[in-house]
A and B are shown apart, each in its own frame.
Chain A
Amino acid sequence: MEVSADDEKTGSGGHAGGPDREAATGSREQDAPATKGERDRGAKIADQTSATTPEADTDGQPDEGGGSSPSADPQAESPATATATALQERTEREAEWEELARRYRADEATIDFSTQLGAVATQDEAELLTINMGPHHPATHGVLRLLTTLEGEVIRDVKPIIGYLHTGIEKTAEDKAYWKVIPVVERMDYLAYYFNAMAYCGAVEDLLGVEVPKRAQYLRVIHLELNRIMSHLVWLGTTMLDLGAISILWYAFRERETVLDLFEYSSGQRMHTRYFQIGGVVEDIPAGWATKLQRFLDEMPTRLDQYEAMLSKNEIILQRLKNVGVLDARRLQEWGVSGPLLRAAGVPWDLRKATPYSSYDDFDFKVPVGTIGDNYDRYAVRVAEMRESVKIIQQALDGLPEGPTITEDRKVALPPRHELATSMEALIHHFKLVTEGMRVPEGEAYFPIEGPRGELGCFVRSNGSSKPARVHMRDPSFVNLQAFGDMARGEYIADMIATLACLDPLLGGIDR
């Protein structure tokens, strides 16, 4: 009892205790025979092939073995050759697999699994402590797992491990009619459901060549920007919670509630609203919605002032955020990082400006950028973005044009209810759309938009049927997470948490 307790203690202390190291070596030795066994099997197969091949070659000649072999028959030549070829192919395939497995094992070897054994491996690393954060950890923003190697309180290495929230949404989408995919993709990045729907609908609209009415485009912009504010509010609340400022969470969620109420009012749902349709939006905004929205728009800037009064001048917040998690623009671009993270490093890259979609070029707004790309810039950029979003919504609301909210194309959008009673054609369209769905011409489309976390793109390939052949999302959280190791290395453990929070990863979007 005493001894085992002692060992455990040593393990937790980060000093490689004798038994622990033995365990580590033991498991590696266990790995080795398995590998050897596989190699043996491969060799056996190769032997069989080499044994068979001469037999096929020497076909027709007297059998050296002296046994009664059917291969003496010339007619059996082609099946024997076929077998040989098949075996040859199989050997090649096995070799290929072997190679893949070897590469996989090499990859796997770079992951430090020493946490499961309780101690680090070598004597040189005896001062290091490997700690497994997550997947159930209060600050990993979902089910992210961080294998963290600490030296004291300083991060020496961190390896994010994902996949705990994999839902197979992309695969599910292939089995659904085009319009039934919308609610599924909405559930990927669960704080940016309007963006997911927008990216998907945009891609399908590109394939269909459908023109979205102006009013629908404006309504989309209003909802997208509301969603952006909502997402940034959740980010603000949770990030400050990670820094220890607990009250901001409640203030941010108070405003988020207002936004969610607006969503509920316009679409009937608070989250995953399914408001965007292929070709427009599902219905016009209800009476009184504009007034409510206006009230929110009037209130939001003062709320943002309040947040900034509480945070931007707080010495502790500044000390915790400034010059922490710095990564320069070049490195960020190498990692493919986009969105507020890239803009915080001073690159004014915003898809709303670069490739305007959904009438974004009608609105006057600025792209806030930071200077050095530390956590403070990330915070400041996001808060400024909320202000810009308010401005965009205000302009869209003021200039909201009249007209239909969904395309008139009856092959894409459902006919209005009143037509069903009078028009046979409308009835047929309705029936076809509801039972089979729309048929989309063959082709591929990629539709990138500026999500709250960066470039959110949807790739759709159509094979001409009523179901997409492939739906893929380029999720910004997933791509941005790559840069996390570079940001966090050398920081304190508390700063790593802050950096992760400022990265704003959403596991629903990462794992999909």
Chain B
Amino acid sequence: MTSVLAGPLSAINYAEPWYVQIIKALLIFAIGFSLVPLVLLYERKLLGRFQGRPGPNRVGIYGSMQPLADIGKLLFKEQFKPRGAIGWLFIAAPLISMVAALATFPLIPFSGAPQEILGTKVGLYGLDSDIGLLIFFAFSAIGSYGILLGGWSSTSKYSFLGAMRGAAQLISYEAAQGLALLGVVMTTGSLSLSEIVDKQDHMGLWFLVPQIVGAFIFFVATLAEINRTPFDLLEADSELVGGFMTEYGGGRFALYYVAEYVHLVVAGAMFSTLFLGGWNIPFWNGAPGFLDPFVVLAKTLVIVSIIIWIRATLPRLRYDQLMSFGWKILLPLATLNALVTAIVLVAL
């Protein structure tokens, strides 16, 4: 087992030759980026259907070019910076958001055993680390810096309020999110994402069933983590205009925007990996390996659809309600869930 990130913290379960890794890295980057416009279009179309309207349908066939037109428009706009903005932080903040969002994408395993592609064995993931889950949490924590710094450095009061909300919200929900996964980690006995899926494969049971409470808490906390309704307080457009990105425009705004949708995809994929059995197809053990990535994507799509559905239905929580919900309901529930899981595991 050759270790690329040789160090005391991690061991890589399977690593390919360096050239395969470079190609893989580029591919993952490309896929991650091309998923964004697709999800963008999907969300707008689906929201339109929920709201009794067709959604975008002018640009391209079935409105397919709309996201590209939007992003293109943003990229060609003037790079505006408020006079009082703290220059380099103002520029760096969206980049931090973007990098942190993209960095979590390679952690998602898209298949079990390494696939045979052109005579080379390739694992369909960017990195299968022993501590994959920890890396995921680390990067989502770094992602919140993008929001904090962006809101703070643009020296707008709306941005500032948005950033303050962001700080409080992300911190309080990260705790519940992490604790909710303890059940899964304890049952598997590993933090590696591919091993978590393998465990579900062996049990013949998705973690959604035994860890239903954990799944619920993780889902809710993830909504807060990626700033989706009903927890989209950071950019509550009716109160804070645009929240932490009020002062951002053009390409920098596009970075935040894209990061948000990468987060959405990663959240969906992470949930399907942890609780919906990843590439596992129920009642079909002999499924061919090339189906695996599509199964993961299909499950991701389901979760993404649910998140969009929630956005179409639910109103926004108030700041204090959000905090008390996080600390008083989710966190005790997550702790209880971890305790009960531990007791059951020991008893069995």
Contact = CB atoms under 8 A, between A and B. Distances in A.
A242 B312 contact: no
Interface in A294-325: 310, 314, 316-317, 319-320
B313 interface: yes
B295 interface: no
Interface stretch (A161-169, A326-334, A367-375, A487-495): A487-495
A498 to B, nearest CB: 9
B155 interface: yes
Nearest to B51: A250
B237 interface: yes
B320 interface: yes
B312 A247 contact: yes
A339 B229 CA distance: 33
A245 B320 contact: no
Contact of B230 (A137, A241, A310, A316): A316
B156 A494 contact: no
A250 B236 CA distance: 19
A5 B84 contact: yes
Interface in B63-108: 83-87
Contact of A244 (B152, B165, B314): B314
B313 A11 contact: no
B231 to A, nearest CB: 10
A90 to B, nearest CB: 48
Contacts of B165: 153
A245 B318 contact: no
Contacts of B241: 137-138
Contacts of B157: 12, 129, 131
A250 B53 contact: yes
Interface centre among A11, A247, A495 (most CB of B within 10 A): A247
Contacts, number: 105
A244 B315 CA distance: 4
Contacts of B156: 12
B238 A246 contact: no
Contacts of A7: 84
Contacts of A137: 241
A251 B318 contact: no
Contacts of A492: 318-320
Given A138-B238, A139-B239, A246 B311 contact: yes
Contacts of A254: 52
Interface in A77-120: none
Nearest to A493: B239
Interface in A232-285: 240-247, 249-251, 254
B230 to A, nearest CB: 6
| Main DSSP-derived SS at the A contact region | helix
B229 to A, nearest CB: 6
Interface in A480-512: 492-495, 497
A153 B319 contact: yes
B239 A11 contact: no
A228 B105 CA distance: 52
B320 A13 contact: no
A247 B165 CA distance: 25
A245 B314 contact: yes
A503 B208 CA distance: 45
Given A247-B312, A250-B52, A131 B318 contact: no
Nearest to A311: B315
Contacts of A8: 83-85, 155
A4 interface: yes
B51 A247 contact: yes
A320 to B, nearest CB: 6
B285 interface: no
B315 A320 contact: yes
Interface string A1-34: 1001101110111000000000000000000000
Contacts of A497: 238-239
A319 B318 contact: yes
21 contacts: A4-B84, A8-B155, A9-B86, A12-B155, A129-B157, A131-B158, A138-B237, A243-B238, A244-B232, A244-B236, A244-B315, A245-B314, A246-B51, A246-B311, A250-B53, A314-B315, A316-B317, A320-B315, A320-B321, A492-B320, A494-B316
Interface of A: 1, 4-5, 7-9, 11-13, 129, 131, 137-139, 150, 153, 240-247, 249-251, 254, 310, 314, 316-317, 319-320, 492-495, 497
Given A244-B316, A247-B312, 20 more contacts: A5-B86, A11-B84, A12-B157, A129-B157, A131-B157, A131-B161, A137-B241, A242-B238, A245-B313, A246-B47, A251-B51, A314-B314, A314-B315, A316-B230, A319-B317, A319-B318, A320-B321, A493-B319, A495-B318, A497-B238
Closest 4 CB pairs of A and B: A244-B316, A8-B84, A250-B51, A245-B315
